[in-house]
Structure 1
Amino acid sequence: MGQGSVYFGPRETLSYIVLGLAAYTEYSFRVEACTARGCAVGPPSTAQTLPAPPEGQGVPVLLPLAGESGAHAGVRVTWSPPAKPNGQITEYEVHRRAILDGEGQDFSDAVLVYNGTLQGYTDVASPELRPFQPYQYMIRTFNAAGRADSAWVKVTTREGQPDGVPAPQIQSTTSTTITVTTAVPLEPNGKIRLYRILVNGAVMSSSPSPQQIVGLTTPLQPYTVYEISAEACTAGGCGRSPTVEAQTLSARPQGLNNIEVTEITNDSAILTWSAPEKPNGIIQRFEVYQRKSCPPTLQPFDQACVVGDATTVYSGLSETFTAINLEPYIAYEFKLQAFNEKGGADFPQWVQAETLPSDPVYSAYPRLYKNDTLAMISWPNSFTLNSRLREYILIADGRVVFRGVTAEHGVETQTKDQLINFIIQAVTYEGEAESPTLIFDPNAVNNIGTPAPPVAEEQSSDLEFYEEVWFIVLMCLIALLILVIAIAICMRRSGPSTPYVRERMPLTKGGNQQQLQTPRGRAASLYGERNGPRDVYVIDSADGRVIHANTLPEVSQVTHYSSPGRGVLNPAYSPDRVRRTYLDNDLDDVNFDNDTIKWRGKPSDSGLFDDLDDSDSGQTFSYTKEQTIFTDTHL
């Protein structure tokens, strides 16, 4: 302190109490004594006042702290010593209390959060120090004499991420959007600046509004189940809600691949397909459409082409179909459509395919007409070509008059009433077809003179060859022929074998006319007796049996062999025709008187008869046709 007089008094007073000194302060005192002659100052004497409670403790400085994400991290409290420590400061205390109402009239109990000699402290985040909450702090200073408290100072902590975000509420759905509402978190921990909607963990929408439509910027997939969650965000971060499931409504199918033609013939096509990549619902059916397409199949002439009407050839849930009853060498188009409860896919594509070629077929009359002296014939619709045309051939009265690819030609007529027979042939790369004879008659209606009706070529049958009518008829004819042959053979084998017989008896060597009285004598007369008696055999004309002459009945005289039962006469000659025999001695050509000289020295037979063998063999003689013709000899 500065120097100053604190007391002035009479000489009798030797003590004095100095008032108004500062606590815990060292003072220096001197006594000055004065006489008339002057004053004298004594040496100084020091003394220190005792401590007193501190005075003038200032309010702390409060700084809300935030982490790297900006979320509430605590409060930094700093302070200065009191203006008058009034002693040695032994301790500082930091007290905190929460403001319970917005007006600052209601507080929680004060909590000691720090005591020590330092002049700063960080009150970190804790359940007692929550984000975005108002708190008050106060510094209490201690020395040996007492304490001093600062005033309470208010601070609001930094914002943190919200807690207790409720699950979002699904308000409505479409095929591509979901309307979601998010409620306020139970503990916002700050000012909610943004709401986010997450779909399957990805942020699909964000807005300060708690109600949002998900799928406006990026459409959702139809008929799909999604996991929906919400986030409420403050300056200190975002808190996430539990997830809920939501399904979008169905829509028309998408990603339908084109139908595939896996196999094709001249009258059928096997079609296959797969389900849409995005059914967008439950597929209820597939439909296959078919039509004739343009351009048509290749031909060497100009063709008019009109796209055919589309027809539905299949409806169902299978993924394969065989189109049948197609025409050969025709360009077809096929289209697939898939349907769910919302309809069919958008813009399916037509797929073209050509059936394989086949043989041509004559199918309709050509047109016959006159053009001055020309007999015109036009056949553009007379043939179903079924493949690429090579040429048409027109034959008039057996002569080829035209070869080409046009379907009309004229032939010069010689007279106005001339008839012309036309035949048209269509030759393709697969075969040929021919019309029946077409008569050009200028006097007939439409110049057509009773042509044969067109006969369409029969389609190949699916029957086996042994089931065809022609095969059955052929087998019947063969069986009938075999039966006739068998009957003929049986009849030939079952009938008697009748040998040829002589027309008359052989000539004898000579001698007088003899008559047969007995069988033996009759045989001897026939053959003569050389070398003694012989066995004679006779052929029965009735059944061809060979019988011995001794078995013949006795006759008084035989004039001729007229008996129908036995004899050697040729059956071709009856007794009415042959009245005379060798035994009648009435021969025209040979008699014993005149022919003796002629036959003398000549062999009596042809050598076919052996006298030595006759008696032993008993052989039956067979007579040929030649032997029956030469009746005047023994041959």
Structure 2
Amino acid sequence: MQNLSCLTYYAHGFAPWSLHSFRVQACTAKGCALGPLVENRTNEAPPEGAVTVFVILEGPREVKLKWEAPLSPNGRLTYAVFFTGLFYVEQVKYNYSLLNDTQILYHTEEANLWVPISGLVPFSNYTVEVNASNSQGSVISDPITIMMPPGAPDGVLPPRLSSATPTSLQVVWSTPVRNNAPGSPSYRLQMRPSHSMDGILDLFSDPSASVSYVIGDLQPFTTYELRLIASNEYGSTYSDWTSLVTTEDKPGPIDPPFLLDVSPRTMTLKWQHPSRPNGVITHYNIYKNGHFHSKLSGKISNSTMLNLHPNASYHFQLEGCTSKGCSLSPETRTVWTLPDAPEDIPNPELYSDTPTSVSISWKLPLFPNGQLENFTIQRKSKGMEQVTTLVTLPLNHSMKFVDQTSALSPWTTYEYRILMSTLNGGTNSSAWVEVTTRPSRPAGVQPPEVLVLGPDMAKVIWSPPLIPNGNILSYEVCMPDPRIRVTPSGSNTSLLSQIMSHLIPFTNYSVTIVACSGGGGHLGGCTESLPTHIITHPTIPQGIGTLSVTPVSESYIGVSWQPPSRPNGPHLRYELLRRKIQQPLASNPPEDLNLWRTIYSGTQRFYEDKGLSR
């Protein structure tokens, strides 16, 4: 374009927004070389020319639109389609309020294409313009007026609940926001079970102009879906489905509960919720043998009956309740709880009328808990763990028994109890009851130990009987004569003693102990030990009688005597003493006057004293 040596060049005379390519060629004396190709456009200018618009009606809510570009776009054009007329404020949110406005319904950079424009209001007029613009300006088409044909109604809202009963719904609805055609619309009402796509029921046999309807023969507390169909001669519009609920009623028939897991004191009730609850089951009432028993949550379907009586008959009823009332089931079949061990068995009555027997009597339990089968009597010694079963008696036996077993001992405390059994139910017992057998005479009275203390005194030592068979009331020390009664003290009864005095020297004694027992106001008896034989120590004789003196001559006297009444020892010897107390014929008193002189010593009981002085 230019041959010069400067480094800039100004080109002009181009059309607006036209594309041009440039490259630089540099030459020397040896030749030329081309630089890289560079492209660029000229700036935009306002478009020039007319925009021609074509419109085709596609129905009551849609048109097709096409336009031609202006003769000189002079830049990159953007087309905006303007509609002026009636519009719904927010149709997607069911706001069918009408607004007279101008709105841009389409944007594009293309021309000569058919474009669909929807969402228009039927049976209304619109003015259509297309604006072509670039960054420097715009040009707008001539306005075109179109008249939309009539169509189906718009703004058909779901029906509303006016009032409800357990078996009916009264619904009302509003007229459409816009009928979109001359005249008034007609209506149809459809119903289906909740969330079901099948079973749609037309409630009107023919279209109606009414705006309310009462639906009958419904189920209580049931959700139904309804929708409204508004129609004119140009079409029909369906509202959305809406859910309406009938009010609650008392439950339908309730089956009696099942009785499971029967035991002596419990059983489980299990039931099914009513097939037609007719509302929310707020609670269940359980009736036992015709009387109210308990109230349970309406969400549960089982309950365990506690604290029942064994071997007893029961029947139950279940009552289900809603906020509107209650329905009572029929009675269950009568069920018997299982037998169990007897309860509250009275303590036996005990009486001992001999030292080795106990009379036992008893009464039936307060709660047999089944068919009594037998009675068992058990015994144990007080303070011992070992238990002896005495006898098991049938039910027809008299409720008395005498324990005369050889194991019983006098004056011993025993404990007895009664065990009672039910058929297939178990065994239970009374409490242990104490009884003490009557006392008896002691056994095991040991011979005493005797210590001879002198000619007339001995100490008798003895121990308590090995088997006292009662409380030791007294001891008697028998020589057998003398006899001394000793009452034991409570301080020390392990070793007992008694000093026996006034005994006869050198005498054989047979010493025994007689122990006597008793207790509880009864005398047990006395037992004498085997004897212990002793001899008292000897001592000087006692009871020497008067001499028998017989003068034989003037110088001879015969003397005799009897043995002493109490020799007090063995090997008895006699000494005979004589003294001179007077000698009248002597001139002088003799030297042996009043002096005792032994004249005999021996075992004989006589002596001849000869050679006496005259």
The TM-score bracket by the shorter chain reads: 0.3 to 0.5
Where is the strand percentage greater, Structure 1 or Structure 2? 2
Where is the helix percentage greater, Structure 1 or Structure 2? 1
The two structures have a TM-score, normalised by structure 1, of 0.44
